Amino acid sequence: MIGGSISFLYPLKNYIYLPIIVLTSWVSFSQDPPSFVFKKNNIKCIDSAFDESEFLVFNGEITLQEAKSSAPIIGQLYRDGEIHYFEPIVPFAYEKKYSLAYKDSIVYFKIETPKDYQFLSVNAIYPRATELPANILKFHVQFSRPINLANVYDHIYFISSRGIIVDRAILPLENVLISADGTLLTLWIEPGRQKRGLSPNEELGQVFSPGESYTLVVSNRLKDQNGINMQNPFSHQFRVMKPDREKPKIASWEITAPLANTTSDLVINTGKALDFMSATQKVTVYDSQENLVYGQWDLTNGDQQLIFKPNKKWVKGTFSLLFDERLDDLAGNNLLQVFDNEISTKSEQANYEEFKLSFVVK
Amino acid sequence: MKKLSTRFLLMIFCFCLSTVYAGDSLKGNFTTGNPQISSINSMAFGPEGILFIGDSKSAQIVAVDLSGQTKMDHSKLRIDRIDQLLADMIGSATDELQITDMVVDPSSNNIYVSVNHSSGKSLLFKVIDNTLKQVPLTAVSFSKISLDDPIAMGAKDRRDRDLRKWAVADIGYSEGKVMVSGLSNKEFASTFRVINFPFENKQAHGSLEIYHAAHGKYETHAPIKAFLATNVGNEHHLVAGYTCTPLVLFPMEKIELGRHNKGRTVAELGSGNSPVDMIEVGSGEKRFLLIANTNRPLMRMKFADIEAYKQSMTNPVTIKGATEGVAYVNMPFVNVQQLDNLEDGYVMIQREANGNLALKKGSDWWIN
């Protein structure tokens, strides 16, 4: 009996039966034939005469002859009682073909994609606003599961309303900016083009033109961590407005204080769209004793409304909001300076300033 | 007061730069075990066979002792279709893995290649007889240091930091210092870290905010993509290649922790291009800076020309594709993805015109 939980045998072409028959009949007169169970993380082998020197696993379907000159998959062989295991250095990919060469026989196998597999999709794009400044600096793409980072920039691009791919729009980084859980991808819009006075800007101009509409496309060629493609491409349309070269000014922000003994949201209307990553990580709430108030931040309403939901109920008193000076808007303008700051202006030399607001919970 | 504090910072930094480690060995505080490396994003060798690994995922620099590795003969070095070989050894497809770096141990001339796989696994390989062998990193002699921002760890900033990311762009070692450049997903800033080695319990590293003062009146916080610490005109310099391609010099002794440090732009390497690796080869009149690029051929620049270029470029290049500043020669190697010194020459991973990704030596003819 070969196989078990994995149907490596039946879906494959007829020719693979031959080596399996050879394999099973070869040992039938002397002892039980070896049996294998193929799983994503290992191959289980039951063979009373197991010979690890003859156990090699290969990428793709290859012949025994080809196996002699091919590099085998790196892995670890170990045993648990009478059962021998091969654990590949990375788990076997779904739907990919492999070969097991064992004692002058070869077995082909693949691991089928589970029926309930949750395919990769895009959950959100930040900014969520559909009208963006021409000098926008960052996009963040929230995926449903960890993505394959190799060649990621080949699968994400912008298309103009005329259907032309915008050239050199995204700054390609060798080490992709992805969150620790592998799902939130940060895309820098080519800063050399977005910032005035730099050579790429002078030569090629800004990436986006005011008045135009564009679509951010995530191709379905993008794979997840398991090597499985997205089922459908994703697109997000937005319209480009004039460039924004104004600093966010917290003094004009409107705070709606929550009520005591509730876990109501603290709402801050900023009057201009902020960068999601920046806005949700660069603001802190302190109580009157300067203890940090824990909770979750979100950015809504065209990325202009900061929402804070506390973990515990609010108590009466005066609270303070501390803003990191590098809290920035969609164009990379922060509380200290605009992204296109002129080198000679005073703000370049700005001293530390505390950016603080307060509110009262009644 | 401002002058005083500046002088104080300068003194601290100069002291750090000139400090020679007085311990018995650079590996005195190494321990044996699993350094828990999550990703290998950039690598550099220091002395005594110490490999420095920049691990973005775990926000750490790990120093691994590879001095015990057998020295290999690379007189007939060449590995064709190295991406397919790696895919076969990993059991994967070529588009699911990324060669993140290639480095050579100068003490043994052993060549190492690092790979990140889509599964999240990072692997190190050593070149042996024109093939690859995995070097396990789960039981090694090592020391490591966290790259977490010490300021951000303070009481002022105890927020949920799960989404924060600081990606290592390049790493280098020079005179008792590990230098790391990188980019975060928070802001577009050219943070450059200098860390004492051997790593100390009390962290003695600091961030330098560097920008080049070119491009007319607008400052640039672009991150350093690749760099090299070397002597230029008998002075120790940081030669930095930025993402939007200026090549900038910073005299090391004038760099101040916690300050904006302005560099002198000596060349523009072409827009739409980004440096990948920089190395120094040869000596005297034939001492060259070799720069591998994303969208330009391998460049060869004479150090004598860099030293002779006394001005700083201040105007942007406005002619499409043009380059300015110190002259250089385009070598006949396009799509060089990785580059390092090998003996007196250089080794590269190059995507050749026929699509073959080859690990091979560069011809000495071009540097002699």
Nearest to A71 among B88, B161, B317 (CB): B88
pLDDT for position B16: 46
**What is the average per-residue pLDDT within A136-157?**
94
Judge if ipTM > 0.95.
no
Express each pLDDT in A89-144 by its tens digit.
Answer: 999 999 999 999 998 899 999 999 999 999 999 999 999 989 999 999 999 999 99
DSSP designation for A237: E
- All residues of chain B having their beta carbon less than 8 Å from the beta carbon of residue A323 are none
Cα–Cα distance, A227 to B121 (Å, whole number) = 13
**CA nearest A139: which of A172, A173, A181, A185?**
A185
Are the C-beta atoms of residues B179 and B173 closer than 8 Å to each other? Answer: yes
Average pLDDT, chain B: 82
A54: number of Cβ within 10 Å = 11
Size of interface A-B (CB pairs under 8 A): 211
Cα–Cα distance, B273 to B36 (Å, whole number) = 34
Cα–Cα distance, B53 to B45 (Å, whole number) = 9
Q: What angle do CA B238, B270, B367 make, to 5 degrees?
A: 60
- All residues of chain B having their beta carbon less than 8 Å from the beta carbon of residue A342 are 217-219
**What is the average per-residue pLDDT within A259-272?**
96
pLDDT for position B250: 87
Token pair of A228, please? 């499985």
pLDDT score of A25 more than 50: no
Residue A354 in contact with partner chain B when CB distance is under 8 A: no
Q: Which of B40, B53, B138, B185 to mutate to test the interface with A (most CBs of A within 10 A)?
A: B185
Chain B nearest-CA residue for A329: B187
Query: How would residue B53 be classed by pLDDT, with cut points 50, 70 and 90?
Result: very high
pLDDT score of B336 more than 90: yes
Chain B nearest-CA residue for A189: B188
Of the candidate ranges B13-27, B92-106, B179-193, B308-322, the one whose mean pLDDT is the lowest: B13-27
Express each pLDDT in B231-268 by its tens digit.
Answer: 998 899 999 888 767 888 988 888 776 676 778 889 88
Residues 6+ apart with CB under 8 A from A161: A212, A213, A214
Are the C-beta atoms of residues A265 and A293 closer than 8 Å to each other? Answer: no
pLDDT for position A66: 94
Cα–Cα distance, A49 to A212 (Å, whole number) = 71
pLDDT score of B18 more than 80: no
**CA nearest A173: which of B243, B252, B335?**
B243
Are the C-beta atoms of residues B135 and B98 closer than 8 Å to each other? Answer: no
**What is the average per-residue pLDDT within A234-256?**
94
SS3 call for B200: coil
For residue B90, CA distances in Å to B115, B116, B288 come to: 10, 11, 37
Query: How would residue B187 be classed by pLDDT, with cut points 50, 70 and 90?
Result: low
**CA nearest B207: which of B196, B219, B194?**
B194
pLDDT for position B234: 87
SS3 call for B291: strand
Decide the pairing of beta strands A138-143 and B329-330: unpaired
Q: DSSP of B213-255, one letter per residue?
A: --STTB---PPEEEEEEEEETTEEEEEEEETT-EEEEEEGGG-
Shortest CA gap A74–chain B (Å)? 6
**What is the average per-residue pLDDT within B143-148?**
86
pTM of the model: 0.84
Token pair of A74, please? 């790196």
Return the percentage of chain A with pLDDT > 70, whole number: 87
B250 vs B112, residue with greater confidence: B112
Do B183 and A173 lie within an 8 Å CB cutoff?
A: yes
Return the percentage of chain A with pLDDT > 90, whole number: 68
Cα–Cα distance, B164 to B181 (Å, whole number) = 16
Cα–Cα distance, B298 to B227 (Å, whole number) = 15
Query: Any alpha helices (H) in chain B, and if so which ranges?
Result: 2-18, 82-90, 303-308
